[in-house]
Each structure stands twice: as structure tokens, then as C-alpha cells.
Amino acid sequence: MRTLTTVVKDEYVELLDKAISNSRMYSSRSEFLKDAVREKLEKLIKFNEETADIRVGARKLAALAKARGWDGSLITREEKEKAHQELLKKKGFI
């Protein structure tokens, strides 16, 4: 185990102490902070896994597009506007 030290504004410490006292869910700041760190770490891990999946999917999509003739360049503003207009028309907005 390792010790982490951080500096927190006094107002946050006071709010944390009140919240811990009122909820009676934690016996100390340390217990609360350990739980909060675990929770945030789990979210970060999940986010990293999801973004890795997105990057893999984007690479596959780019490879497919290149196989179908895409040169890798971005579309122009005019092409983007034309695609928007076509989609709006298709969906019945114009």
C-alpha cells in the first residue's frame, strides 16, 4: 500500500465532513476517499476500454473506405453541406 496526499480547499473538507457525518456511510474521510478513488478508477478503466473499441472500429472503417476508393482526405465544407442537405431532405425536414 502507498499513501496519497492531496491539498483540498477548507470548504470542501467541511462539506465532506458534514456529508460523511450526516450519511453515516463512512467512518472517516480516508474510507470515503478510498471508495471514491475506486469508483472513479473503475469508470476510467471502462472509458479507456470503450474508447479503445471505438479506435479499433474507426481503423476498420477507414480500411474499408480506403478499399472502396477513399483517398484518406477529409471532405470539403461544400461536400459536408451537401450531405447535410441530403439527410435533411431524406428525413423530411426540407
pLDDT in tens, the chain (94 residues): 899 999 999 999 999 999 999 999 999 999 999 999 999 999 999 999 999 999 999 999 999 999 999 998 998 999 999 999 999 999 999 8
Burial (Cβ within 10 Å: 0-12, 13-18, ≥19) of residue 89? exposed
The confidence score (pLDDT) of residue 72 equals: 87
The structural domains of the chain, with segments of one domain joined by +, span 10-90
Q: How far apart are CA 9 and CA 46, in angstroms?
A: 29
Q: How far apart are CA 91 and CA 12, in angstroms?
A: 49
Q: How far apart are CA 82 and CA 70, in angstroms?
A: 18
The confidence score (pLDDT) of residue 7 equals: 95
Q: What angle do CA 76, 64, 89 make, to 5 degrees?
A: 45
The confidence score (pLDDT) of residue 47 equals: 94
The confidence score (pLDDT) of residue 1 equals: 86
